[in-house]
Amino acid sequence: MFYLISSITSIFASIIGLTAIIVFHEFGHFIFCKLFNVYTPTFSIGMGKVIFSKKFGHTNFCLSSTPIGGYVEIATEEGIKGTKGFNQIPYYQKFLIMLGGIFCNFLLTYLIFAGLLFTGMPESGLPYEVNTTTVAQIPKNSLNKNTLQAKDRIVAVNNVNINNDASIIKKEALQALKINKKDLAVTINRQNSNHKILLNLNPNQNTLSKLIDISFEKKDPLTITASLVKAYELTTFCLNSIIQALKQLFSSSPNKGFVGPIMAVAVSSKSAQKGLSHLLLLLAIISVNLGLMNLLPLPIFDGGQFVIFTIEAITRKRLSERIQNLIGTSSWILAIGLLVIFSLQDLYTLIFG
């Protein structure tokens, strides 16, 4: 019963987190609409049938029945009480409104990273090592249970002093695995005496604790200033990594590395079971993914809308209603098609591994 309640709670927390990311994206569009006096009739948290609504100013804020997602409705023509429509504003304002959602996703990722660094970042595959080099605990089934003891401190790797920098251990371990070595030569300090040993390595892992199959004592959280600086570095790292992954869109297996809503909820719920910090870390990565994906020049993304109003600005005429309807219909077909494809892929992965 406890496991069932925990699983349901984790799934619920992950859905709330994913919805928050999308709503924050839509909030970016909304803020710039308000800045340029563009009429926004509706701002909805969730999709589908409205179950609760409250009007503030010119906007009806809604809570809808389907918990994942959200949207802001932007009027195309003149609105009420002197507000403008999207088609009536200058090109640069349209550009900033579309960019607002993407910017908010990047900002959310940055703020989550900064908060986690300040309060205590969980261990991850990101280029920031949260561990010291002092052993905290050795699991009973660890590869190195007969080699290490709690409170041992790794002081050198391959005869090079590491100055309590756990990232060097991780780097050397990954390098050893690349050349098919299954162990790593280290020097440990045990009760003020140094000893040279070989650590067995666990392949196909990306965190220090999993690479060596033990747990390390954690570093103290960073200061506010250091957190803000390091959060920028981690956000930039994520952006560069996603850009490299997007190149797969033009490869022979374009769907590799991409997941649908089912897998997103499944992975998020697993992270939620590990604790709030793990869930927030995953949501930060999803948020920056969502922001960058929205730059793609496809009709279902903000980048596609950017292409459309750029064409209108260059030709100095609106696209015909027939073409707009065709683009809108094809966008929905494409969105639903991708949703079905990725959902089927998610189910296959979850069922068959």
- DSSP states of 141-203 as a string? T-TTTTT--TT-EEEEETTEE-TT-HHHHHHHHHHHHHTT--EEEEEEEETTEEEEEEEE--S
Residue 44 token pair: 């909805």
CB count in 10 Å sphere of residue 328: 11
Measuring CA to CA, which residue among 184, 222, 182 is closest to residue 204?
182
CB-based contact 307:91 (threshold 8 Å)? no
CA 50 → CA 26, 42, 64, 70, distances in Å? 17, 11, 4, 11
The percentage of residues in the chain with a pLDDT greater than 70, rounded to a whole number, is 89
Dump pLDDT digits (tens) for 184-200. Answer: 999 999 999 999 999 99
Above 90 in pLDDT, residue 325?
A: no
**Burial degree of 38 (CB within 10 A; 0-12, 13-18, 19+):** buried
Class of domain 131-218: mainly beta
Can you tell me the mean pLDDT for 39-48? 92
Can you tell me the mean pLDDT for 150-165? 92
Taking the model in full, what pTM does it have?
A: 0.85
Supply the DSSP symbol for 90: -
**Secondary structure element (H or E) that encloses residue 217, with its range:** strand 215-218
Per-residue confidence (pLDDT) for residue 330, from 0 to 100: 77
Which pairing describes strands 153-157 and 59-73: parallel, antiparallel, or unpaired? unpaired
Amino acid letter at 111?
A: L
Above 60 in pLDDT, residue 262?
A: yes
Per-domain boundaries in the chain: 2-123+256-352, 131-218
Lowest mean pLDDT among 1-5, 68-72, 274-278, 286-290: 1-5
b/e burial code for range 148-185 (CB count within 10 A of at least 16 → b):
beeebbbbbbeeeebeeebebbbbbbeebbeeeeeebe
Per-residue confidence (pLDDT) for residue 15, from 0 to 100: 86
Above 60 in pLDDT, residue 256?
A: no
Which pairing describes strands 131-137 and 215-218: parallel, antiparallel, or unpaired? antiparallel
Residue 243 token pair: 């850009």
CB-based contact 178:211 (threshold 8 Å)? no
Amino acid letter at 168?
A: I
What distance in Å separates the CA atoms of residue 73 and residue 82, rounded to the nearest whole number?
17
Dump pLDDT digits (tens) for 45-67. Answer: 998 899 999 999 889 999 998 88
Measuring CA to CA, which residue among 283, 307, 322 is closest to residue 113?
283
